[in-house]
Structure 1
């Protein structure tokens, strides 16, 4: 405790951890803005209790934890828009006509519909004459419409529909996943009229145009299902992947492979850094080269929020390998998580990509040193031992989350992951190189595309073969308390074992 009192860095770590705990508590138990009032009362009670604590250390500890938790809860609460005429949420339950711009490319949804998010500019009319309309309305509406005609990012639309509250459209976590994307109203079976095209802001428009070109180049480099698989691995695009192949990935416990997250990125940068050092490159040079490659990767795959977060996780893994100090990287992990959650507090509990990113990073940073003895007999040729070790560490860290989120237990998932994940870095590296070169020099890009096709074909064949086994998987969704208990136990084991390693 004395060390905590004297160390500013430890106080800061504690504050960050308390902030994240506050966001988690709000995510689980939030019941409207009115529920925030009792927290102020509790805060004052806590302040009075602090006055009676004799120990300055415990008094300081209590204050830091209380401030962090209250700040986390407050940040989650204010992320919900107020119920005023200036926000589209105000018009839920009404039949309305509004004008807005499609913010990103539509995605396939349930019942053979396309889903796209519309950034509202203003509401033209509603079916209630007593409602006073605002001149300017903000907010995002999730619009579900027939697949044809297909809409495009940048289309300015006039949409007429019955606006539904997200809680009516999807229960619990489903509604929160919409809130995570800033969606507070849902529009189904809408009448849509296109008013204009290419209405995105300059920066967003350029990024969207570039993403469209990236999709076209990937489709030009590979046939299906390889184009769809590479798009899923690189930037989470699954449009070209068949329903059967998606089912095969679920049955083999590999759904996470096609979710853009730090899971794939961290494994890729870890493997590339291992291979770079193995070939004689200095660790510091490898760090800066791979950091530059990460920046290029984020730009070339569209720089969406999920891709940026994945890039941050990849950089943290590189930083951990460069620093080699557990306490320092712990501070960096907590700080980066707090910053990302500060921008969007709902990603912590309702964004599976964000969760996979952090858990895989934690597994690589803390799990690898603890598992080294188990993999002593794995050959070190071409970095195979360390790549397999990193794959196993990431798998141990993420399996409970995958069970909780995807609700399927794969008996062959460990085998499938160990067979497939070591080839993900090669797939991403050569696929990304082919993508970049396709903008520069087509003959050379074809060489890299052929190399990338080899692991892509291997992955498809392995997944298809394993999924046909009758005992491959069955439905199993673990409850949140079970997952929480697993991770609490995992943190305890890591803490104890790390202390033993440091004592040697």
Structure 2
């Protein structure tokens, strides 16, 4: 009863977020909850009169497992609150956001140079146009009036910028480094064709409302602050040194994911064309491999030791790959498997998947429309649903081959 109630409420929350794409979606999900409550109320009131004395015990047992009408009403209310929560979490530019200082005309071709100061928030990556790209947490902006430099009073700003610069300018940058970028501010455009890439929507999901076409970078602070990016960089460099290029970056991407490793786009495209794009995404495969190795090496140790070492390995893996939806989903499900091992209980895969989805969407409801989040959960759900049925159909084969 408790498990069924939890599943219904979690699904109510997820469907509430999905209904944000529909006008008055929260009201519709509440109506569905009310309809479900009315239907099950009638069903539970009619069932006792339809029982036969000899089967009363089994009937009552089946009746008690039916979700109470209040559960459906609660799921509808949770779905309604989910739509409101989603609207509250949608990023909005503040009064001093850097996007407020984009020149009138909203064009990336307008030659109004500015100097933006801030801290690098990510490792530089190579774009398809062979430019370096990184995120910049802005603190100050100054307009360039003439060729001699800046003029006027610098203004304090907030917000994050999508910065692209010539590749040589981005070389050597690292997170938390303070820099000043000279370039042109612009606001992103929406998709020009239906179903096309919506650059404005992409930046908005990242909490960004403007971009900067950089021309020159001046480094203001050279001090290196420790971060997981340093360990990731050493791993990539060692694999490149021993395996060469492109084998080194490719192996790093298969271990840490292409979002953590700057893999050239021509290699990514080849994997996409071969239908192996998932091999470059950090998700359940790496998590399962890590846990399998840890549990195999510690098979003679106590359950508590296995749980501690497995949890530590998952935390290190998550820190190296970054807080991506697919990785978080895999880590939460891996943690559920460790808890089941510690308590000597079998973990239901569908329940752990649903719990992982709910926790992640509570943390960030905007991920409901993130393609990586959707593909990760739907692919895992497809495996959970189809694999047991396929294995049963192949029962005439040896178990290892059937699995």
What TM-score results when the alignment is normalised by the length of structure 1?
A: 0.58
Residue equivalent to 2:150: none
Residue equivalent to 1:149: 169
Q: Which consecutive residues of structure 2, in runs of 5 or more, have no partner in the other structure?
A: 43-66, 105-111, 146-152
Residue equivalent to 1:253: 275
Flag as ranges the 4+ runs of structure 1 deviating above 6 A. 39-54, 279-283
Q: Map of 1:74-473 to 2, 5 A cutoff?
A: 74-92=84-102, 97-125=115-143, 136-151=156-171, 152-153=173-174, 154-168=176-190, 173-198=198-223, 205-237=226-258, 241=263, 244-262=266-284, 264-268=285-289, 276=296, 290-299=310-319, 301=320, 303-305=322-324, 307-316=327-336, 323-326=345-348, 329-352=349-372, 354-376=373-395, 385=400, 389=403
For the 8 Å contact 1:93–1:165, the answer to whether it is kept is no
Aligned length: 354
For the 8 Å contact 1:14–1:64, the answer to whether it is kept is no
Choose between structure 1 and 2: higher helix proportion: 1
For the 8 Å contact 1:87–1:137, the answer to whether it is kept is yes
**Aligned pair in 2 of structure 1 residues 231, 58: CA closer, same or farther (>3 Å)?**
same
What is the alpha-carbon root mean square deviation over aligned residues? 4.3
Instruction: Report the secondary structure of 2:123's partner residue.
Output: coil
Q: Deviations over 1:394-418 (max 9, x none)?
A: xxxxxxxxxxxxxxxxxxxxxxxxx
Instruction: Report the secondary structure of 2:169's partner residue.
Output: coil
1:256, distance to aligned residue in structure 2 (A): 1.0
Whole-Å Cα distance in 2 between the matches of residues 143 and 105 of structure 1? 12
Whole-Å Cα distance in 1 between the matches of residues 383 and 40 of structure 2? 42
1:247, distance to aligned residue in structure 2 (A): 3.4
For the 8 Å contact 2:16–2:82, the answer to whether it is kept is yes
**Aligned pair in 2 of structure 1 residues 145, 378: CA closer, same or farther (>3 Å)?**
farther
For the 8 Å contact 2:19–2:26, the answer to whether it is kept is no
Whole-Å Cα distance in 2 between the matches of residues 287 and 315 of structure 1? 9
Residue equivalent to 1:67: 77
For the 8 Å contact 2:178–2:221, the answer to whether it is kept is yes
Whole-Å Cα distance in 2 between the matches of residues 120 and 236 of structure 1? 28
Higher-Rg member (1/2): 2
1:261, distance to aligned residue in structure 2 (A): 2.3
For the 8 Å contact 1:20–1:338, the answer to whether it is kept is yes
1:147, distance to aligned residue in structure 2 (A): 1.0
